[in-house]
Chains A and B, each alone.
Chain A
Amino acid sequence: MPGLLRLAVAQVRRDRILLPIWILGIALLGFATASAVSSEFSEEGDRRAIMAVAAVNPSLLFLRGLPDGSGIGPVVFFQGYAFTALLAGLMSTFLVVRHTRTDEELGRAELIGSTPLPRSTPLGATLLVGCAANLILAGCVAVGFAAAGLPGDGSLTAGAAVGAVGLFFVPVAALMAQVMPSGRSANGAAAALVGAAYLLRGIGDAVGTPNLELTRVTSGWISVLSPIGWGQRSRPFTAPDLVPLVVVVAAAVVLTVAVLLIRGRRDLGASLLPERAGRARSGTGGQSLVGLAWNLQRPTLIGWCVGAAVMGGIAGGLGPVVTDAVEGNNSLAELIGRLVPGVEAQIVDVFTAALIGIAGVLAAAAGIQCVLRMRAEEAEGRAELLLAVPRSRTSWLTANLALALASAVVVAAVAGSAAALGLWLTGMTGTPGTELLAASLAHVPAAAVFVAAPALAFATVPRWSVPVGWGLLAAGLILGQFGELLGLPEWLQAVSPFHHSPAMPVEAFDPMPALSMTLIALAGVGIAAYLIQRRDLTT
């Protein structure tokens, strides 16, 4: 037991900066949402109106969650829960993979493995740390809600509902670490599962049935497949019920036992998905910098494209279902028309625009990841090999940035095409498919700005490029998702490039912001290409 604890303490020490940022960041987001709701929607009537709009608006249901009454607590839970739970899942994913598969891949696990401890002890320590982190997260989220003035027992349940989802993904990520051969692929697989949990919950909620007063929506059966869906069923501020959370935790316990058993029987460094032999010679293009960047980025890019295709497919394919749900109910349509004039006509478009907006975020993320790969190459010593050949640093940077921008375009295009295809398959005649493709591609200029920022950081302050890259994306995402709700000033919201992307097909395409963002991005890329020659290679 002391060995287990010692390892757990060592892992906590390694995470002493990262984990508090995750936990406090998530709790702060909950606190900010709760304070914003209580100040912006202090009137019962306002809350009733917004929930009614949400109840019949599948895009809001998809992105946010289930309306469950018009008290402040339920509105906060509706606005913030799913996204907070998503973050908790990602926190667990990166935490677990960092201490398991990545350590194993980089040979650090071997040293620990030589000590007189059972084979699964290091994994056990990580699971313990993950469990503790999510307990603390649950506590912090609860404190955040309570501090914003929400009732104590509801806050506790809500915190527990966030923590339970995080807890569930601890063994899930550990399982992916047993299955996948590298830290990167394990992170990708586990994060995709977190995304899938959000998605299944979103689909279930989007096709859910509102009650007649439009204060409450019962989600479709499909959200039962998602731990976030289960967490929602705890209904913290309406009718607190811990049973769904117990189900989630029980599932986590079963997974934990399974993972520990697998680790106890597995060779160090081996994975359930085995490493295949590679090719003896490089393929076409395998001898150029662009070819190398492409070879390295291809699996990741495929992952982003799958995500974008799913998003687009849902946007296109679910549209008709959404329309039917609204149109099939005359009194409902009438009510919406009364509450928010004009909303009814656009309901499908709003849904589509919201999902394609997410695809725009995926496009930016794909580009950022491609840029940050250069930093990994440098920090892990491979850039040294690459830059000892007769190629300039600028050509290396340009090759990677070109691929980053191309990745963003491809991911956006895949989302748009999938949306168009989904629309065509369901036989809808409303929005033409080409317009959906254009709607996706309209997000490319903003994505290009997100590519240029880490490129600039990489060329000047390389050690900061990773936090800059992902931090800006997270900031942009939060400004976009929560900026309006939190009542942030317009100029601050306008800082996010996403803010300037037209929400087609609801809004018209405006060439000016697109053009200026493209120019800003190109200028950033150009400056980075020049500055990269002026600094030392650093590890």
Chain B
Amino acid sequence: MAEATDPIIEVRRLEKDFGRTRALDGLDLSVSAGEVHGFLGPNGAGKSTTLRILLGLIRPTAGTASVFGMDPWEDPVHCHRDLAYVPGDVSLWPNLSGGEVIDLLTGLRGGADETQRSRLIDEFEFDPRRKTRTYSKGNRQKVALIAAFARPARLYVLDEPSAGLDPIMENVFRREVRRVHAEGATVLLSSHILGEVEQLCDRVTIIRAGRVVESGTLADLRHLKLTHFRVDGVRADLLAALPGVQGIHDDDGGALEFEVEAPYLPAVLEAVAAARPSGLSVSPPSLESLFLRHYAEPTAATGTLRRHPDVNQTGRD
């Protein structure tokens, strides 16, 4: 889906300092029209800060951000005309009912699509009459989600939108993202739920300590990942010297374990076959291990795009 359309969101060399803390440190991000873009990173990486800059709520210290080709800080009103936002921590007016808040937020954007509104309230099994003071975290989240999806937008900015939702409601949410995606909308989705990212996103950007550490389609990212081998009845020295084999070691049961970089797979497979193993298991690259690798990297080592990992840190699937 990475066709060369005009970017809806374009961020270059973005920096943001809060006092002496650097939240963003030269972040780049590009989201094309019509794509669902996953935005990932460990806690405190700068995801919410980026989204707030994209909304014009805070001003970047340096660098540029544009949304629909406009500067969100200078012209927030125009930027927000076709935008729906779900904040990471939904805080509501305690003495208004959920229904009133939905009407307020959609009304300020120009009014809800009534059929969508009632359909969403049904599907999210939401009681709009209760005061928001009495809502659980999941219910507060539903208010923001219903308000976001009850009116068509060209861009949806969603900050950990499914936090607090039960699995059934999570499915309703995913269905909504697919619906607006099918209708041609662009979605920027910050999330920690890897299944969600895997199901919904065309491309992902992973950030750490305010910088991008990885960006591309999920297929691209998988190629970078090491495939995990577990081989029985083969001596280590037969395989250890092969190019592309990393982190070779004996496991507790006497089998040999190692990781292989994608380009070297054919050669390693031949060598393994030639060594006549008594047992063999090969696990595909999992997204989780990819994320864990990036999330767990020491801070000092960030910044280089597509670094090869230190294999000793990654062998856990």
Q: Which residues of A come within 8 Å of B, CB atoms?
A: 105, 181-182, 275-283, 286-289, 291-292, 295-296, 299, 380-382, 384-393, 536-537
Instruction: Tell me how far the C-beta of A513 lies from the nearest C-beta in chain B, rounded to whole angstroms.
Output: 38
How distant is B65 from chain A, measured CB to nearest CB, in Å? 14
Which one of B55, B76, B87, B133 lies within 8 Å of A275 (CB-CB)?
B133
Judging by beta carbons under 8 Å apart, are B93 and A296 in contact?
Answer: yes
A131 to chain B, nearest CB (A): 30
Q: Is B200 an interface residue (CB 8 A)?
A: no
Residue B124 at the A interface, CB < 8 A?
A: no
Given the known interface contacts A182-B133, A390-B77, the answer about A381 and B104 at a Cβ–Cβ threshold of 8 Å is: no
**Is B42 close to A, CB under 8 A?**
no
Residues of B near A387 (CB, < 8 A) are 55-57, 76
Known: A280-B97, A391-B108, A392-B77. A385 touches B133 (CB 8 A): no
Query: How distant is B239 from chain A, measured CB to nearest CB, in Å?
Result: 53
B16 (CB) vs chain A CBs: closest residue: A536
Q: Are A287 and B104 in contact (CB under 8 A)?
A: yes
User: In the complex, what residues of A have CB within 8 A of residue B97's CB?
Assistant: 277-280
Q: Mark B74-115, 1 if CB is under 8 A from A, else 0.
A: 001110110101010111111111111001111111110000
18 CB < 8 A contacts A-B = A275-B134, A278-B100, A279-B99, A287-B106, A289-B108, A291-B104, A380-B91, A381-B89, A382-B91, A384-B52, A385-B87, A385-B105, A387-B55, A389-B109, A390-B80, A390-B108, A390-B109, A391-B108
Nearest-neighbor residue (CB-CB) of A537 within chain B: B57
Q: Which 4 A-B pairs have the closest CB atoms?
A: A287-B107, A278-B97, A282-B103, A381-B91
Q: Does B58 touch A at the CB level, under 8 Å?
A: yes
Q: Tell which of A182, A280, A380, A386 touches B108, judged by Cβ atoms closer than 8 Å.
A: A386
Residues of chain B within 8 A of A386, CB atoms compared: 105, 108
Is residue B131 within 8 Å, beta carbon to beta carbon, of the partner chain?
yes
Kindly report which residue of chain B lies nearest to residue A377, judged by CB atoms. Answer: B93
B133/A181 in contact, CB under 8 A: yes
**What is the bound-complex CA distance between A475 and B57, given in angstroms?**
34
Say whether A295 contacts B103, CB under 8 Å. no
Q: Which residue of B lies closest to A383 (CB)?
A: B57
Tell me the B residues contacting A by CB distance below 8 Å.
52, 55-59, 76-78, 80-81, 83, 85, 87, 89-100, 103-111, 128-131, 133-134, 144, 157
| CB pair A281 B100 closer than 8 Å | yes
Provided the pairs A182-B95, A278-B130 are in contact, do residues A391 and B77 lie with their beta carbons within 8 angstroms?
A: yes
Considering only CB atoms, which chain B residue lies closest to A276 in the complex?
B131
Residues of B within 8 A of A390 (CB): 77-78, 80-81, 108-110
Query: Chain B residues with Cβ under 8 A from A392's Cβ?
Result: 76-77
| Contact residues in A for B99 (Cβ distance below 8 Å) | 278-282
Q: Are A537 and B100 in contact (CB under 8 A)?
A: no
Q: Once bound together, how far apart are the Cα atoms of A393 and B77, in whole Å?
A: 9
Q: Once the chains are docked, how many angstroms separate the CA of A139 from the CA of B316? A: 65
For B55, the chain A residues whose CB sits under 8 A away are: 384, 387-388
Are A537 and B95 interface neighbours, CB within 8 A?
Answer: no
* In the bound complex, CA of A497 to CA of B84 (Å): 44
Q: Measured between C-beta atoms, what is the minimum distance from B302 to chain A in Å? A: 25
Bound CA span A296–B92, Å: 12
Q: How far is the CB of B193 from chain A (nearest CB, A)?
A: 22
Question: Which residues in B have their C-beta under 8 angstroms from that of A105?
Answer: 94, 133
Verify A287–B108 contact, CB threshold 8 A.
yes
Q: Which residues of A contact B76 (CB under 8 A)?
A: 387, 392-393
Residues of A within 8 A of B108 (CB): 287-289, 386, 389-391
Q: With A and B bound together, what is the CA distance between A384 and B91 in angstroms?
A: 9
The 8 Å CB contact of A295, one of B57, B96, B128, is: B96
A380–B89 CA distance with the chains assembled, in angstroms: 10
- Residues of A contacting B131 with CB < 8 Å? 275-278
A385 in contact with B103 given A182-B133, A278-B130 (CB within 8 Å):
no
Give A468 Cβ to nearest chain B Cβ, in Å.
Answer: 21
- Complex Cα distance, B85 from A363, in Å, reads 37
Query: Is there contact, CB below 8 Å, between B57 and A388?
Result: yes
C-alpha spacing A388/B92, complex, angstroms = 14
Which chain B residues border A282 with CB–CB below 8 Å? 99-100, 103-104, 107
B130 in contact with A277 (CB, 8 Å): yes
Residues from chain B with a CB closer than 8 A to the CB of A287 are 103-104, 106-108, 111
Chain B neighbourhood of A385, CB < 8 A? 85, 87, 90-92, 105, 144
